[in-house]
Copies of this chain bind each other. A is one copy, B any other.
Amino acid sequence: MNEKAAEGPRTRVRRPQRADARRNFDALLAAAREAFAEHGTGASLEDVARRAGVGIGTLYRNFPTRQDLFDSVYLDEIDELCNAAGQVADLPPWEALAAWLRRFVDYAATKRAIYEALNRDSEMMRSSRAAMYEAGEPLFERAREAGVVRGDVSFDDVLRMISGITGGGFVDDDQRERVLGMALDGVRARPA
């Protein structure tokens, strides 16, 4: 239902025509995803090119500015998040919300970058944040109306908490799981 919103006014960089060029393009996206995940928004573009096995010039041909590159990676993740919202729609209210928030954490390959982005204030960021909200907020509202989510916080509050937690590092996956579980319990309504 919100797939529409996900398609927003995206001004995606266009994928090249030639086969070899397309390979490079995709390699760059993958490399950038990795690099942003590791070093945040400030990752070295020269490093991205190296990871992709491509000259720095090729990177700039495809993504004239750092923002273009970041946007492309980011938009992919937003897409996945929007799709995820559709996929969990059949679950009961709380489970649906929790599952989506877990995806939020998993898909955030741009980890550190994603909450830097939450604050940034560009045309594109605003619109894709809007898309994300349109996907996730209904799940939140449904859970709230069902009385399984506390009434004194907003969807934005929850997202910020979760993305903050995502940004920190963990000893191992088990710990991440425990911490996430604990945070989600904080979102839940307490029995009176």
Contacts and interface: CB of A to CB of B under 8 A. Distances in A.
B175 A160 contact: yes
Nearest to A169: B119
Interface in A40-57: none
Contacts of A168: 115, 118, 160-161, 163-164, 167
A183 interface: yes
A172 to B, nearest CB: 11
Which of A158, A184, A186 neighbours the largest number of chain B CB atoms within 10 Å of its CB?
A186
B190 A175 contact: no
A166 interface: yes
Contacts of A184: 186
A62 to B, nearest CB: 28
A23 B137 CA distance: 52
A176 to B, nearest CB: 9
Contacts of A161: 165, 168, 179, 182-183
Interface in A93-149: 115, 118-119
A165 to B, nearest CB: 4
A2 B89 CA distance: 51
A153 interface: yes
Interface of A: 115, 118-119, 150, 152-154, 156-158, 160-161, 163-171, 175, 178-179, 182-187, 190-191
